[in-house]
Every structure is written in C-alpha cells, then in structure tokens.
C-alpha cells in the first residue's frame, strides 16, 4: 500500500474537522454553556491564586506573578490535548461496545482517524484565557520580548503539550486491557492540576514522581524556567523537548499496540 504523506492527512483532517464543527454548531446552546463553564472554572483558579497570595507573599521563593505565569503556561499547553485528543475519553465506550472495529478497516492511520473525529471547540476558550493570563503575568514580571524568547515559548509550550498528550494517550489505551479504565483516565486528569505549581514546593518523593513517573512537572515548571529564570536553567528544562517527543512516541506505540490487538467484542 502506498505510504500517505502529510498533505494527504492534512486534507483529510480538514474535511473531518468541517463535518465535526457543523454537527457541534447544530447544538449552539450546549457549546455556549460548556464554554462559559470552562471559562468560569479557569477564573475560579485565578481567584484562588489571588486569595492564597493575599496571605502568603511567596511560596518557596515563587511570587504571585511567577505562579500566575505557570498557571497561564499550563492552560495554554493543555489546549492541544483538549482540542485535538478529546476523543480519548470516548475510546473505552467504542471498545466495550465493539464499535471501535469500524476504525480498523480504513486505509489510513488508525490513531489519526480516531483522534481526528472530534475537535473540542471549548478548548479555544481555555486557550484565550491562558494566553491572557500568560501575557498579563509576562508584563508584570517585566520579562521583555524578543524573537528568540517567542521561539523559546513556542518550542517549550509544544514540549509541555506533548507530555500531557502522552499521559492521556497512555491512560486511554488501558481500556484495551482494563474494563474500568475510566478511573485511570480520571486519575491522570486530576494529576494535571498539580502542573500549575512549581515542583519544588513538594517533598522529595513527590518531586521524583512528578518528574520521572507521572511527569507533570514538564507541563509547566521545567519548560517555563527557560523564560522565568534563564540564569539558572536545569538540564531537565533544556532536554524537555526530547523528553516530550520520546513520551509521545512511546504513548503512540502503546495506543497502537492495544488498538491492533483489538478484535471487537460486540454486545
């Protein structure tokens, strides 16, 4: 079979995206309510930081605007998994019902086909709020702006996104072997809330877990140090792009391994 390239998949994705957006726009009230709910949730997080720092001027040497920077950074980096990989939440339902078998007979990449069926527009609201928070904190910290800094931000935001995408891919793929895989997904999703804080505020055991086992420290903390504290950037920050690519590759292989072993259960 002829190998299909980026141009082919881009064209296919745009067609699938158009159909998905049309179906979502037919339920505008649901979209509007869900978007407002997501924005209110993020505002609540913003307010919680404000209340916390009214009592404590800093946390382990991190000031209010630095923590706010991490918060905005994490929201922006989580947007791709929210927008492009939200169908992972439905994977277990397709597997248990036997409907996943339909994805196995198309002459395109199975992972691409499944993930591209859903685009969560609500993630754009999260992106807007995250960017606003990031820009606000950036200005208050007086970080300045240059082409190099913008390029660093893009690279390390993509790095952070790859980590969260990898965690969700791996968690979702457990449904090929575990019946109650929802709890695995929910467990991983809850852990990402800790990504909004510097890993140094946790004890040594949790630092190890958040760095090498459940690497949520790479969602905001390590990548953002390149911008926030350029004079003391640890090695883990510089190699985080490689770690992100490695984790994504491994999660993709794990997801595909389960999918290719799938034979359909039916009900």
pLDDT tens digits for 102-160? Answer: 888 878 899 999 999 888 887 888 888 889 989 999 999 998 888 999 999 999 999 99
Closest to 259 in 3D by CA, of 105, 46, 111, 96: 111
- For the segment 165-192, what is each residue's pLDDT rounded down to a tens digit? 999 999 999 999 998 888 999 988 888 8
Gap between the Cα atoms of 17 and 117, Å rounded: 7
Give how far the C-alpha of residue 103 lies from the chain's centroid of Cα atoms, to the nearest Å: 24
Mean pLDDT over 258-262 rounds to: 88
Closest to 79 in 3D by CA, of 135, 162, 153: 162
Residue 47: Cβ-neighbour burial (10 angstroms; 0-12, 13-18, 19+)? exposed
Structure tokens belonging to residue 57 = 């001027």
Has residue 265 got a pLDDT over 60?
no
Q: Contact at 8 Å (CB) between 244 and 163?
A: yes
- Count Cα neighbours of 130 within 13 Å in the Cβ-side half-sphere: 22
Gap between the Cα atoms of 35 and 124, Å rounded: 9
Please report, in angstroms and rounded to a whole number, the separation of the first and last CA atoms in the chain. 33
Q: Which residues pair with 63 in a beta bridge?
A: 58
Model confidence, pTM: 0.85
């Amino acid at each position: 079979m002829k190998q299909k390239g980026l141009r082919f998949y881009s064209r296919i994705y745009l067609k699938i995206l158009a159909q998905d957006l049309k179906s979502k726009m037919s339920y505008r009230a649901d979209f509007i309510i869900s978007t407002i709910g997501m924005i209110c949730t993020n505002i609540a997080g913003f307010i919680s930081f404000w209340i916390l720092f009214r009592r404590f001027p800093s946390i382990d040497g991190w000031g209010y605007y630095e923590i706010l920077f991490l918060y905005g950074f994490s929201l922006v980096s989580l947007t791709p998994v929210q927008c492009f990989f939200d169908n992972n939440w439905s994977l277990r339902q397709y597997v248990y019902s036997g409907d996943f078998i339909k994805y196995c007979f198309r002459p395109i990449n199975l992972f691409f086909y499944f993930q591209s069926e859903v685009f969560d527009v609500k993630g754009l609201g999260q992106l807007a709020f995250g960017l606003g928070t990031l820009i606000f904190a950036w200005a208050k910290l007086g970080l300045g702006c240059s082409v190099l800094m913008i390029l660093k931000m893009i690279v390390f935001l993509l790095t952070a996104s790859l980590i969260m995408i990898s965690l969700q891919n791996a968690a979702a793929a457990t449904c090929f072997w575990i019946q109650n895989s929802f709890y695995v997904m929910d467990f991983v999703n809850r852990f990402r809330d800790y990504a909004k804080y510097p890993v140094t505020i946790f004890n040594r055991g949790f630092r190890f877990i958040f760095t090498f086992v459940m690497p949520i420290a790479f969602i905001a903390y390590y990548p953002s140090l390149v911008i926030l504290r350029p004079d003391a950037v640890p090695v883990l920050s510089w190699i985080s792009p490689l770690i992100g690519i490695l984790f994504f590759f491994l999660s993709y292989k794990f997801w595909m391994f389960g999918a290719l072993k799938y034979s359909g259960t039916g009900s």
